[in-house]
Structure 1
Amino acid sequence: MKNNIILSWIEEGVVSIPSFLFSEYKSIGLTDLECMLILQLHAFMEKGNSFPTLEELSNRMTLSLEQCSQTLGSLLTRGYLEILKGHTDQGIYFEKYSLQPLWKKLINHQLLVEKEQTEQQLKLEEGSLFTIFEQEFARPLSPMECETLAMWIDNDHHNPALIKAALQESVMSGKLNFRYIDRILFEWKKNGIQTVDQAKQQGKKFRSHQQKTKVEERKKGGTDTVPFYNWLES
């Protein structure tokens, strides 16, 4: 007897539900009851019944027919569900529920959350830039330097991570000043450098070229050159 029950459960199959729905349904404005009704709809649709009746839905829930109708109507009105209508290839008229509006709301919600997180992280990085610059310069920044740093962010739209990389490049080159850093950022932007990795590769490329030049000059009996790229002379 128990084996028959287990077999019937297995044959009944499973319903695939995006886990994101469980964690975010409240954030997109759904109540527990509405979410459960959507899950019941989804279960019917997975079984091939894309337009279950109010009776079928009500029988699975603690809702009366009237409550089920009201809840469905609210979900349709607020854009969480839609009813698609049409004709089959055989000309038979049909109606069916679609959960696409719900999935779109979830996707848009996630995109908004990610955008807010990115903006928040960017603000934190921008704020820390002033501290990092003052640490490297070993002094408070002047009003003009603060304005320049703000212009790199607001007017030139340089990524804070790239500004930090340009600062590090100037430190490595022994030319710690805002004019030099500004030139580095200008050259990177002109050459399409958008990430820190690309900036590092660019710096490595220039230093490799200077090292080669240094070796050639040694062979010719020339003087040593500084093995760092001089961005102000590019």
Structure 2
Amino acid sequence: MEEKELLIEWMDKGMISIPQVLLTHYKELRLTETELVLLLQIFSFKQKGQHFPTFEELSAHMTITASECSILIKKLIQQQMLIIEEGDALGFESYSLKPLWKKLADFMIQESRQSALHQTLSEEKDLYTCFEQEFGRPLSPLECETLSIWIDQDHHDAVIIKAALREAVISGKLNFRYIDRILFEWKKKGIETLDQAREYGQRFRKGQTTPEQVRRSDKAVPFYNWLEQ
């Protein structure tokens, strides 16, 4: 057979698309490599329109016997990785991988939530550090509680709280009451992003500028690079 004909025959047999998440996380689902390949063989047969391959047909594509295939499939059904569905036609049955996809989806959702929680905790820790650096001292229990209220009850984003802290520093009014007022005004005006906060702060300070302040504008302004990161 010529190489061209061989390639055509190979392409004509088709290909299957294997979910990357399955290959990446099958270990977390407590699947062995043999069980994984068996599930992929079932998936391959279904892609070709054969929804209920026999144990002999499955084992022909693996290094295990038909008897071992039977044992593994029963185990996978018990582990809720696989089910056998009955069709409308009398005697028609098919393997379904829906339980496997559901477990993968649940795993990905849980992983995403854990990642988001870890990021939130990291941002909150960084937020406390920023406040202590700017205040030049550890925060008091009451100040820590106020920070928690801004995050948990008022649902202010950590970036917005940092921006309010920056505004307080620039204004020379470094206290929690002033920062709380900034956050209150921003929330009332629908400010939710760092860019919106910067723009509003610039417009506010511009509106508050007096001729005397303009004459003094040649004085150095502190640079707070922690907010620019």
Whole-Å Cα distance in 1 between the matches of residues 47 and 104 of structure 2? 20
How far apart are residue 70 of structure 1 and its match? 1.4
Within the alignment, does 1:42 sit opposite 2:37 as a pair?
no
Q: Percent identity?
A: 46
Within the alignment, does 1:15 sit opposite 2:16 as a pair?
yes
Whole-Å Cα distance in 1 between the matches of residues 207 and 156 of structure 2? 31
Aligned to 2:26: 25
Whole-Å Cα distance in 2 between the matches of residues 209 and 182 of structure 1? 17
Q: Structure 2, unaligned stretches of length 5 or more?
A: 215-229
Whole-Å Cα distance in 2 between the matches of residues 209 and 142 of structure 1? 30
Whole-Å Cα distance in 2 between the matches of residues 130 and 8 of structure 1? 64
- Aligned 8 A contact 1:165 1:196 in 2: no
Q: Structure 1, unaligned stretches of length 5 or more?
A: 226-234
- Aligned 8 A contact 2:160 2:197 in 1: no
Output one character per residue of 1:53-93: Cα deviation in whole Å (capped at 9) or x when no partner.
11111111122222111111121222211222121xxx555
- Aligned 8 A contact 1:85 1:95 in 2: yes
3-state SS in 2 of match to 1:60: coil
Equivalent AA in structure 2 for residue 7 of structure 1: I
Whole-Å Cα distance in 2 between the matches of residues 213 and 179 of structure 1? 20
Within the alignment, does 1:196 sit opposite 2:193 as a pair?
yes
3-state SS in 2 of match to 1:170: helix
Whole-Å Cα distance in 1 between the matches of residues 74 and 205 of structure 2? 72
Whole-Å Cα distance in 2 between the matches of residues 39 and 190 of structure 1? 54
How many residues end up aligned between the 2 structures? Answer: 213
- Aligned 8 A contact 1:80 1:101 in 2: yes
How far apart are residue 2 of structure 1 and its match? 4.5
Matches within 5 A, 1:47-86: 47-86=48-87
Whole-Å Cα distance in 2 between the matches of residues 71 and 153 of structure 1? 50
Aligned to 1:158: 156
How far apart are residue 206 of structure 1 and its match? 6.1
Aligned to 1:181: 179
Aligned to 1:208: 203
Aligned to 2:104: 106
TM-score (norm 1): 0.79
Residues 1:79 and 1:188: Cα distance change in structure 2 (over 3 Å) = farther
- Aligned 8 A contact 1:82 1:99 in 2: yes
Aligned to 1:230: none
Aligned to 1:128: 126
Residues 1:190 and 1:75: Cα distance change in structure 2 (over 3 Å) = farther
Report the more deviating stretch, 103-112 or 141-150.
Answer: 141-150
CA RMSD of aligned residues (A): 2.6
3-state SS in 1 of match to 2:86: strand
